[in-house]
Structure 1
Amino acid sequence: MRLDIVGESSAALLCRLVGLAAQHDLVAPEMEVRVTEDGMAVRLDLELDGPPGVIVAEKMLRCIGVEAVALDGVPL
């Protein structure tokens, strides 16, 4: 499962996103963070599918500072 998250450029936000994955004991085998003038883009590849993956994506979308989340390329 791939999550693409766009939000404000903030170390605190990045920690919250990684923390949500950690709550499910998930390790991101691949993670990419890009910081631009407009904000931050995070790509997480997680070994999680189905309803639990949707729950994690929805929790990330509700984080303060997150503007958008896409799950496997499909916006939530």
Structure 2
Amino acid sequence: MRLDIVGEASAALLCRLLGLAAQHDLAAPEMEVRLTGDGMAVRLDLGGLDGPPGRIVAEKMLRCIGVEAVALDGAAL
């Protein structure tokens, strides 16, 4: 499962996103972070979290303060 997240450039937001993955006791995800002007683009590749559980995590990430958009496997939520 791949998540693409766009939001504010914030270490606190990055911690919240990783915390949601950690709640599912996942191995360290593959992650890419790019600063874009005053924002941040994060790509998380989370193995072992497909189907409905993956969608739930994606929707929780979308509701995080500072997140503007989330795409799950290339499809916007």
Q: Which of the five TM-score ranges fits, normalised by the shorter chain? A: over 0.9
CA deviation after TM superposition for structure 1 residue 28, in Å: 4.0
User: Where in structure 1 are there 5+ consecutive unaligned residues?
Assistant: none
How does 1:1-76 map onto structure 2 within 5 Å?
A: 1-47=1-47, 48-76=49-77
Q: Which moved more, 1:23-32 or 1:45-54?
A: 23-32
Distance in 2 between the 1:14 and 1:44 partners?
11
Distance in 2 between the 1:14 and 1:22 partners?
12
TM-score, normalised relative to structure 1 = 0.95
TM-score, normalised relative to structure 2 = 0.94
What SS class does the counterpart of residue 56 from structure 1 fall into?
helix
Runs (4+) of structure 1 moved beyond 4 Å?
none
What SS class does the counterpart of residue 21 from structure 2 fall into?
helix
Alignment RMSD: 0.9
User: Where in structure 2 are there 5+ consecutive unaligned residues?
Assistant: none
